């Protein structure tokens, strides 16, 4: 009987064990293989990580995306390490730190967005989107990406009866997962801007639209500034007029807003902020998020928003006092 890793045949590990592991287990292996030369040699298999990555995010099968990932230091292995965890500002107690690191990273000429949405583990929407980042309009205008077309025909939620009760919305909150990965071709790095499961699910409008929101907090351009990265997924009852309930993806969008004013950042500021996040600067970390950490992150968002508003209010009061004294 095999008693340790070295006793197990390499072919069995590569073909039968590693491909069956779940995402968190694979990410742990991907980030800790340096501690075991034997495991490192087993896992340095490009086909293994390509297969795992493509099954996790079908959007990367796009030929251009595949070519970009091939330039990463360890190709799909590097991409998986970058993309499986979410980018989170951590620890929360240091979110008002003055330790901003402003390294100069050249802005890429193209931004790649990879969006994959699953319902109960089955893919329902998958697309690769390419944004030209060199135009003056992109750099200076409020930044937002709105997607309403997918490379895969969306499957329908044909096993779900949705009503306006809490149980139905809670089921969606647990069952619909979303990844929004951005690739920076210049840095040869990627980062996941989604918290994977939504922080809120609500019904809106006369056409029975259901809106799911995925929100993370990132450091802003300057010390003591924070922004929120908000992904909004809109589900539509496709057969609403016929009386049946068949949900499908209508639209998914991404924007980054100032935490206090809710104003959208322009394209240039978005690029700078997300590049710093991808490089894990200013207390940003890659973390595999569970339900407990997701709740903690949402509570963190509320606390940061309150603190930021208090700071803004105190600043306004000081300004008014100064003006009174000057007069």
Domain membership flag for residue 287: yes
pLDDT of residue 49: 86
In this predicted structure, what is the pLDDT of residue 158? 54
Asked whether residue 12 is assigned to any structural domain, the reply reads no
Report the pLDDT value the prediction gives residue 208, as an integer from 0 to 100: 73
- Global pTM value: 0.80
Report if residue 37 sits inside a domain. Answer: no
Distance CA 246, CA 159 (A): 8
Domains of the chain: total: 1
Give me the tens of pLDDT residue by residue for the chain, a chain 327 residues long. 444 544 444 555 555 456 656 666 666 666 665 555 656 665 667 888 898 899 999 999 999 999 999 999 999 989 999 999 999 887 654 444 445 555 556 789 999 999 999 988 889 899 999 999 999 999 999 999 999 865 554 555 555 555 556 777 888 899 999 999 999 999 999 999 999 999 999 887 666 788 999 998 899 998 778 899 999 999 887 655 455 556 788 899 999 998 878 899 999 999 999 999 999 998 899 988 876 666 666 666 666 667 666 666 665 555 555 455 554
**Secondary structure of the chain as H, E, C letters:** CCCCHHHCCHHHHHHHHHHHCCHHHHHHHHHHHHHCHHHHHHHCCHHHHHHHHHHHCHHHHCHHHHHHHCCCCCCHHHHHHHHCCEEEECCHHHCCCCCCCCCCCCCCCEEEEEEEEEECCEEEEEEEEEEECCCHHHHHCECCEEECCCCCCCCCECCCCCCCCHHHHHHHHHHEEEEEEEEECCCCEEEECCCECCCEEEEECCCCEEEEEEEEEEECCCCCCEEEEEEEEEEEECCHHHCCCCEEEEEEEEEEEECCCCCECEHHHHHHHHHHHHCCCCCEEEECCCHHHHHHHHHHHHHHHHHHHHHHHHHHHHHHHHHHHHC
The pLDDT of residue 54 is 93
In a domain, 246, yes or no: yes
User: Looking at the domain assignment, is residue 67 inside a domain?
Assistant: no
Instruction: Give domain status of residue 259, yes or no.
Output: yes
- What pLDDT does residue 93 have? 47
- What is the rounded distance in angstroms from the CA atom of residue 186 to the CA atom of residue 111? 10
Kindly state whether residue 91 falls inside one of the protein's structural domains. Answer: yes
Residue 196: inside a domain: yes
Contacts of 38 (CB under 8 A, 6+ apart): 5, 6
Encoded tokens for 327: 């007069």
Which pLDDT value is given to residue 148?
Answer: 84
Q: Which domain holds residue 136?
A: 85-315
């Amino acid at each position: 009987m095999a008693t340790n890793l070295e006793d197990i045949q390499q072919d069995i590990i590569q073909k039968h064990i590693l491909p069956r592991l779940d995402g968190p287990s694979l990410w742990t292996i991907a980030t800790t293989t340096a501690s075991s030369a034997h495991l490192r040699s087993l896992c340095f298999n490009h086909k293994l990580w390509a297969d795992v990555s493509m099954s996790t995010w079908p959007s990367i099968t796009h030929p251009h995306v595949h070519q970009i990932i091939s330039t990463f230091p360890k190709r799909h292995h590097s991409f998986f390490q970058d993309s499986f965890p979410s980018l989170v500002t951590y620890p929360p107690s240091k979110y008002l730190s003055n330790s901003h690191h402003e390294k100069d990273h050249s802005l890429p000429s193209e931004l790649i967005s990879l969006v994959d949405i699953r319902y109960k583990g089955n893919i329902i929407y998958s697309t690769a989107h390419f944004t030209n980042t060199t135009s003056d309009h992109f750099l200076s205008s409020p930044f937002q990406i709105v997607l309403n077309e997918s490379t895969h025909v969306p499957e329908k939620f044909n096993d779900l009866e949705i009503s306006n009760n809490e149980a139905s919305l809670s089921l969606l909150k647990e069952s619909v997962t979303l990844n929004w990965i951005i690739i920076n071709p210049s840095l040869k790095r990627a980062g996941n801007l989604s918290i994977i499961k939504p922080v809120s699910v609500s019904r809106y409008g006369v056409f029975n639209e259901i809106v799911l929101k995925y929100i993370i907090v990132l450091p802003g351009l300057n010390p003591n500034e924070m922004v929120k990265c908000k992904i909004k997924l809109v589900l539509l009852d496709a057969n609403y007029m016929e009386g049946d309930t068949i949900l499908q993806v209508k639209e998914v969008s991404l924007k980054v807003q100032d935490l206090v004013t809710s104003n959208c950042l322009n394209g240039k500021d978005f690029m700078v902020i997300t590049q710093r996040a991808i490089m894990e600067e200013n207390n940003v970390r890659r973390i595999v998020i569970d339900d407990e950490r997701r709740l903690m992150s949402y509570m963190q968002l509320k606390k940061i928003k309150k603190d930021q508003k208090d700071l803004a209010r105190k600043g306004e009061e000081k300004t008014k006092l100064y003006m009174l004294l000057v007069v």
